[in-house]
Structure 1
């Protein structure tokens, strides 16, 4: 591991923060300004991976059924839809973004902006036409994340944020956060959460430890592993695979010819350069937060071009 090369590279980048933990020990901590460490900041679509953790906890507690449960269990009106494929949608299809809705997040149909301008986001998503058989392919869709947040509220009898306070944020010691809601008061499942970089590191560490935190099991190891394994391979412009609202990939070093040069990892990602990377074989968690609106050049893939090679260096 070559931390000095990472530190040197950080001087030329305008990251908000970079935190690296190995073997549950913080080995690198970089902030743009001293205030960045304590400021709440948007994590954008990393919110999806936080929601995934909450769904796993709810399943472990029996508040939610198993992942093969049909969506009609929560929205029976789908049985009346003329497209029978909607009755085939399961909870896992929402988690893997393979529900089959005809959806283009941005551009094309501009589905995400249209949802956020609608008076009822959940209804908007449920009424979208189908383009695929559920489970056939992954299509990035923040609308299904909103369905999951609404389902969690319905099943748990409390808001998504309150559930997080009880079963995730509280145990992790996350005391400060902000979370947006839709017009019906459902916390946004796909974006809208603000956290500190150190709290993102806690989320990554929890997953590295397969759901254990200070000798307490917050999420079952079986659920952690299932949610972070590749369920479907993704299509361009994305790379790698997708699990339950977690991305998966493999980094291979061209400079080394050993098995250690190839490392599987999974990660949360959010618009503007927000990332939480977990590398199980290296017992390492990496958090990057950024504000690409400050960038004048195309963004660097900081993890794959700078951090991963340094972590694998002799």
Structure 2
């Protein structure tokens, strides 16, 4: 009996040691899952004002094992595996949204208040679309599909602007013109506009290099333009799975830009185009270092305020830097404003906000030795590729667009004087079946331009 007890004791010790070592090994991976859950719950409820994070944002593979809660009074959300493991917390700050951090972010000043003046779509009446535009929106919402297929398509909003005027819009049940929606990677296009503001006001050079003090090797040659065009050459993996660089950056790195900057070179800068959310966060870290206002406030002063984007919230990391790759919330109408600014080449209410010709440069795809992307320019996707061929014949040749996870789109078609916004939640739908390009084609046909 005494021998049996010793054997059981040894086995128990081995199990405990194995569990501890296993947890240590998988803790970083688990933290990306709990950080994702904490952030989503916080943002969906406290930024968007909705109550079901699980149904509003892409699924989390750890969901069966996660526990957590949202403390609306305290402005935070907590998530863990089985209540205690890999616990992460997201903190809400008015104007800045939700930040995953071990402690509540501190800021010496409140977010700059953004008034809606100058925003032509704020408070505008819902336009009465003609039959052709109504049919275009009906197709985009999947009215011709079964109820199950329509839910999978997941369209939540369509806004159409022509000649600077709202001509059509429609929303899914539970969403209104005042509901902020997450644009995911559409924030990269907005980052391009922020850079343009700094180039105009401060004469910054897109060819500037030596962007990080710790880059004393070949990374010192990386330029701002290469970061915008995803040709930095930094090693990266944009796969959205637990423990990959993109999820580690977004959900377990207090200083996202520092995490990205630590990646080694995989290619000579400027020679290889690979989609990288990390590159955009490096751009905004660079902008933050130049800002006159506290780091996380400059998008509000430089971009939101001049356009009257009172709904816009650009969330930040724990270092106080806007997460420019992914976390810009705004109403579909305010997303349309950003598209209209681009269409007008940066002129708003008679004032130039971007350098003349900025959008022509930003939406011109440049040749590189090798590219993984079809039609990526400087923060914008374009229909005309560097070799002159078109990405899709469904769209006019001069079309360009913002693109975000799960079918977020803002299309700009200069030849048709059009801006078309589509927002949705479509995790089960192949991008080719989202009907977003078809929506623009239908709108072009409907407007008769």
TM-score scaled to structure 1, two decimals? 0.86
1:276 matched to 2:410? The reply is yes
Shift, 1:137, TM fit:
2.0
Shift, 1:306, TM fit:
3.6
When residues 218 and 226 of structure 1 are mapped into structure 2, their CA distance, relative to the original with a 3 A threshold, is same
Could you tell me how far apart the structure 2 residues matched to 1:115 and 1:278 are? 30
1:149 matched to 2:284? The reply is yes
Shift, 1:150, TM fit:
0.9
198-207 or 167-176: bigger deviation: 167-176
When residues 203 and 184 of structure 1 are mapped into structure 2, their CA distance, relative to the original with a 3 A threshold, is same
Shift, 1:309, TM fit:
4.3
Q: Are the equivalent residues in 1 in contact too, given 2:136–2:442 (CA < 8 A)?
A: no
SS of 1:92 mapped into structure 2? helix
Could you tell me how far apart the structure 2 residues matched to 1:305 and 1:231 are? 26
Shift, 1:160, TM fit:
5.5
When residues 302 and 112 of structure 1 are mapped into structure 2, their CA distance, relative to the original with a 3 A threshold, is same
1:303 matched to 2:303? The reply is no
Could you tell me how far apart the structure 2 residues matched to 1:153 and 1:160 are? 5
TM-score scaled to structure 2, two decimals? 0.61
Which residue is equivalent to 2:302?
167
Could you tell me how far apart the structure 2 residues matched to 1:44 and 1:287 are? 14
Which residue is equivalent to 1:247?
381
Which residue is equivalent to 2:90?
none
1:7 to 128, 131, 137: 137
SS of 1:221 mapped into structure 2? coil
Could you tell me how far apart the structure 1 residues matched to 2:135 and 2:367 are? 35
Q: Are the equivalent residues in 2 in contact too, given 1:230–1:242 (CA < 8 A)?
A: yes
Which residue is equivalent to 2:208?
69
Whose Rg is larger?
2
Superposed counterparts of 1:27-38, under 5 Å? 27-33=167-173, 35-38=175-178
Shift, 1:303, TM fit:
2.4
2:256 to 91, 98, 121: 121
Could you tell me how far apart the structure 1 residues matched to 2:357 and 2:213 are? 30
Shift, 1:141, TM fit:
0.8
1:78 matched to 2:218? The reply is no
Q: Are the equivalent residues in 2 in contact too, given 1:232–1:242 (CA < 8 A)?
A: no
Could you tell me how far apart the structure 2 residues matched to 1:262 and 1:60 are? 29
Instruction: Name stretches of at least 5 consecutive residues in structure 2 with no aligned partner.
Output: 1-129, 145-149, 384-389
1:192 matched to 2:192? The reply is no
Moved over 3 A (4+): 232-236
SS of 2:273 mapped into structure 1? coil
1:21-42 CA distances to partner (integer Å, 9 max, x unpaired)?
1122222111113742111121
Aligned length, in residue pairs: 296
By relative contact order (CA 8 Å, sep 6+), the higher-ranking structure is 1
SS of 2:419 mapped into structure 1? strand
Which residue is equivalent to 1:256?
none
Question: Aligned-residue CA RMSD in angstroms?
Answer: 2.4
Instruction: Name stretches of at least 5 consecutive residues in structure 1 with no aligned partner.
Output: 254-260
Which residue is equivalent to 1:258?
none
Which residue is equivalent to 1:95?
228
